[in-house]
Amino acid sequence: MKLAKIALTFAVVAALLLLVAGPGTRLGLWDFRFGFLLMRWALFVGLAAAVVSVILLLIPKTRAGNGTLLVVAVLVSLGTAWLPYNGYRTARSLPFIHDITTDTVNPPPFVAILPLRADASNPPDYAGAETAKLQQEGYPDLQSLTLSGAPAQVLQKALKTVEDMGMEVVAVEPDEGRIEATATTFWFGFKDDVVIRVEPAGTGSKLDIRSKSRVGRSDVGANAARIRRFMDMLQS
């Protein structure tokens, strides 16, 4: 019984490490790097608890009277370990970049948001050709959007879409066809900045959007997912 309780305790500890990693970062209790470290610990502790629990289940003497406890320990520890493992696996499968735009040749620049990025570890300027190449390889579907409406009409619809997505609007410049906003991620509270540019194109408009993380070398696909969601909502 004692060994089974120890295994379950480690499984619960792993789950708690995972549960506090994001909210603690969001609340400013620690740096995001420490939050990632907690997730790594959750992975290793969870795996260790799962291995020990399975071994105890295979031993008749320790399994007797402890089967339910050990099964719970296995499920909790494996479930806990799976989440950070899946995150790391996803990160490795995606481009190691954090600045995504539908126009890699002439990306929309940040203007009003610049003061908000003063302390950001990622500079506001577009990284250049290497980032563009990686994006085109990883997210070839992200392209400028051509719409039939007039620029003013498209800009208003884009603004409503930004608001519907829960982003904080920083600036709206109708004369320049620009919207700037900040998105905050749910779990870690990361700040990603967004700029939208609407230009005349024939009888309609061309819309470009850019989303860039303030911290972190990889965004694990978050910025691309945000752009896709924006474009889907805009056209729905």
64 has pLDDT over 90: no
Rounded to a whole number of angstroms, the CA Rg of the chain reads 23
What fold does the segment set 99-235 form as a domain? Answer: Alpha-D-Glucose-1,6-Bisphosphate; Chain A, domain 4 (3.30.530)
Res. 63 pLDDT band, cuts 50 70 90: confident
Query: What CA–CA distance (Å, rounded) separates 71 from 50?
Result: 9
Domain extents for the chain? Answer: 2-93, 99-235
| pLDDT tens-digit readout, 20-60 | 999 999 999 999 999 999 999 999 999 999 999 999 999 99
Burial class of residue 186, CB neighbours in 10 A (0-12, 13-18, 19+): exposed
Q: Where are the alpha helices (DSSP H) in the chain?
A: 2-26, 32-58, 60-63, 67-93, 129-138, 151-164, 222-235
